């Protein structure tokens, strides 16, 4: 039997081996552009479960997840990995929105369980959103890595993952004290403030911030943390 010509074995829509090589190269490059990732992106907001904590500063992360879910037309009500979750698609990628059912200082247990369940890379496939007392209400900041800086939820996540290499978005909930108060050594609010219901005026400010947090989250998923930080970490925003 005569040996078959290589071109006779090609798919119908490929006319030559050169075209096949080009197709394989194009598919490979597309995979690189996608970062080689095929699993979902995890967005986890930190907070405390229970009606008494719903409108407290410490639950800013939960509020952010609810705002993203509302805008994406989903409800965070499924129970998985010690968290309530919802699934949506953002920028063509499957996204898991999650709120741990553990209390704040045990948040890492839920985050680690989600990472294992979805075989996610914490450095590439995870965004954790939580409150930051050192930032003034009305602000937020994206950071790719770093220490927990005294935040119990962030400390729990770092401990559970065994790494500080995870993306975080910190929402400011601190009081913007005037310079004279700072010069006088005024103390920042503490635990009682974080776990007490916010004033209506402060919730109005936070409401506007949550829309920007949702926009920043979409930018992260679509373009990566670098472009998102360039846009949203500017001091004039």
Kindly list the catalytic residues: 58
Contact indicator for 156, 217 with CB cutoff of 8 Å? no
Residues 221 and 95: beta-carbon distance below 8 Å: yes
DSSP letter assigned to residue 182: H
Backbone φ, ψ for residue 227 (5° rounding): -60, -35
Task: Say if CB 163 and CB 122 are below 8 A apart.
Answer: yes
Q: Distance (Å, rounded) from C-alpha 156 to C-alpha 113? A: 13
- Helix 107-117, helix 152-161: angle, nearest 10: 40
- What is the rounded CA–CA span in Å between residue 77 and residue 25? 42
Instruction: Give the phi and the psi of residue 86 in degrees, each rounded to 5.
Output: -145, 155
Radius of gyration in angstroms for the set of CA atoms belonging to the chain, rounded to a whole number? 22
Angle at 215 between CA 195 and CA 217, to 5 degrees: 70
Residues 173 and 60: beta-carbon distance below 8 Å: yes
- Give Cα 116 distance to the centre of its chain: 16
């Amino acid at each position: 039997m005569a040996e078959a010509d290589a071109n006779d074995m090609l798919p119908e829509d490929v006319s030559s081996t050169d075209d096949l090589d080009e197709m394989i190269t194009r598919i490979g490059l597309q995979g690189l552009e996608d970062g080689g990732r095929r699993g979902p992106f995890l967005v986890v907001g930190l907070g405390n479960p229970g009606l008494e904590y719903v409108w407290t500063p410490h639950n800013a992360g939960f509020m952010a997840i609810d705002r993203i879910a509302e805008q994406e037309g989903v409800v965070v009500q499924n129970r998985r990995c010690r968290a309530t979750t919802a699934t949506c698609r953002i920028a063509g990628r499957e996204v898991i929105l999650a709120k741990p059912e553990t209390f704040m200082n045990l948040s890492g247990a839920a985050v680690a369980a989600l990472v294992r369940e979805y075989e996610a890379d914490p450095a590439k496939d995870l965004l954790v959103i939580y409150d930051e007392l050192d930032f003034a209400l009305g602000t937020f900041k994206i950071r790719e890595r770093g220490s927990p800086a005294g935040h119990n939820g962030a400390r729990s996540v770092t401990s559970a993952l065994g790494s500080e290499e995870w993306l975080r978005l910190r929402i400011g909930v601190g009081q913007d004290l005037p310079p004279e108060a700072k010069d006088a050594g005024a103390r920042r609010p503490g635990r009682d403030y974080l776990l007490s219901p916010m004033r209506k005026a402060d919730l109005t400010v936070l409401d506007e911030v949550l829309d920007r947090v949702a926009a920043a989250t979409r930018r992260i998923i679509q373009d990566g943390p670098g472009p998102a930080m360039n846009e949203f970490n500017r001091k004039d925003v």
